[in-house]
Structure 1
């Protein structure tokens, strides 16, 4: 039995403020790596304060048993949230340990290949997306509250607002077949997500039109809504977006919308 001896959480705040990295150590020297995103301090506290009591000293290869135990005791707090993000990092690390122990990639342990190639798309965020607020900034840099990031390397959030055509052309040149962005989120909260004005709608459409003008249909466009809109605004958005032929609209409505 490969026994879990230590759990280590790492917060690389200078690289990506919302990222949390996880290492699970075993008595035979294998270290499994996992990661998760958003509120890293809260997730780290949850892992060390609660999940570690299940894991330390336990069999590191009992991946399904650990997942089931932690999931069944987390879901009473709701499906989303810090518990699920913590569990995802733990699950990744345990599968990594199993793969290393067996000398096999995890995809093979999960059943092997299904297809030879897959298409990929770029989520237009960036290292500081959704990070801590700058002093005095009302938006709190919260995703969807108007945070547009700062220009710089890998700052695709900023580029998706201010240089969407250039970003699309760059992605096409790299062989990336799609891009996901959220040009309407900044308008959702003024009216509780129930309405979006024609003026705001047109402003949000500008980067999407710029993408189509620059690269045409060479790239798929996915529009994210972060579940900020109610049905009347969502219907208006969906109707307007027919123009740019999106691949999909993601989480436009709240998860608990009836």
Structure 2
């Protein structure tokens, strides 16, 4: 086989929906008084956009091979990420064989160690890595999941994240995860409101439906333990990302102290095999939830998943549509997946990356057949109606 080489890499930004889930219009459940690390400040409680969750915008990475094939991916890194791609990472990509993904990842990571390691730099590397996998799979005329070893099951099954688990149950999802609305700064009254919300939703969905709580880094260990203990009577399956991502010691304590049978989950804002190694070796959680667009891409998720498998920890990636679906379908220790309900009222199933991606599969009765992922690459296209801006060139 005559292996194509990479001709050019290009980085664009785009606003509105897409990879930046939180760049949404007014009245969206995802921005409605959700508890955050900024909830300690009253003026930033009502809206996550008020403290700037949507300032970065979406990064789109395109990589063109010498045979004309183009791979692409999207993530959340915006103009900062575009600068890093064009001014720094391009030198490690252009001129390389499309097959040499492991070497390209290693060079990008090590070259950015002095200012990277986590956060927006790893988000950017993740976007490049996903575009490389999309490109290689398209060159070979195969879906990404075939490059990863092929499906181990006939379909994906999903739980839904959104404000209405009761509606998610009607739509056929296996569970529903609600956002927490009140943090420690809102005191006992806020705690009562949180518990009342959980109690009400348990009554709505019945006893046998998974019900989970997403705390988005907003709590301290004491509050999270109290919340978990008091909410145990309502059959919570897990409490998610209760603490700041660097508080490994707090997570270990929380996991020791939650009621028996309740799971502790985290990892959405963790990065690389080294970060997840800490979570697992310190006994911080029962399920890890890496975002493939933030943790280092598919190349790194392979390593993270293998490490988790050796620790008997499940891997249920943070909702990232096709970029995680192609991975989950190939892994025995990823038995189900997350679907983010991006309809403003969480009352219908819509594509997670709408309007940025076309041909994006969505669950039907809470399931997606493996055959729906059989198009080359990740199986999606960029919407030509979305206005891409290339702020930098090299």
TM norm structure 1: 0.72
Cα distance in 2, alignment partners of residues 169 and 182 from structure 1: 14
Cα distance in 1, alignment partners of residues 58 and 211 from structure 2: 26
How many residue pairs get matched? Answer: 209
* Ranges in structure 2 where 5+ consecutive residues have no aligned partner: 24-56, 250-394
Once the two structures are TM-superposed, the CA of residue 206 in structure 1 deviates from its matched residue by 3.2
RMSD: 2.2
Change (3 A) 1:175 1:77: farther
Cα distance in 2, alignment partners of residues 79 and 178 from structure 1: 34
Q: Flag the structure with higher helix content.
A: 1
Once the two structures are TM-superposed, the CA of residue 121 in structure 1 deviates from its matched residue by 2.0
Cα distance in 2, alignment partners of residues 78 and 211 from structure 1: 41
Change (3 A) 1:241 1:72: farther
Cα distance in 2, alignment partners of residues 119 and 9 from structure 1: 33
Aligned match of 1:63 in 101, 104, 117?
101
Question: Larger relative contact order (C-alpha < 8 A, sep ≥ 6)?
Answer: 2
Deviations 1:28-67 (CA, angstroms, capped at 9, x unpaired):
1111121212x42222222122111211222222111111
Q: Secondary structure, in 3 states, of the residue corresponding to 1:70?
A: helix
Change (3 A) 1:174 1:9: farther
Q: Secondary structure, in 3 states, of the residue corresponding to 1:197?
A: helix
Aligned match of 2:166 in 154, 165, 169?
169
Give the equivalent residue in structure 1 for 2:40: none
Aligned match of 1:245 in 235, 238, 250?
235
* Ranges in structure 1 where 5+ consecutive residues have no aligned partner: 125-159, 161-166, 191-195
Cα distance in 2, alignment partners of residues 19 and 211 from structure 1: 33
Give the equivalent residue in structure 1 for 2:61: 22
Contact 2:183/2:219, CA 8 A, preserved across alignment: no
Cα distance in 2, alignment partners of residues 169 and 249 from structure 1: 18
TM norm structure 2: 0.49
Deviates most, 228-237 or 67-76: 67-76
Cα distance in 1, alignment partners of residues 242 and 234 from structure 2: 17
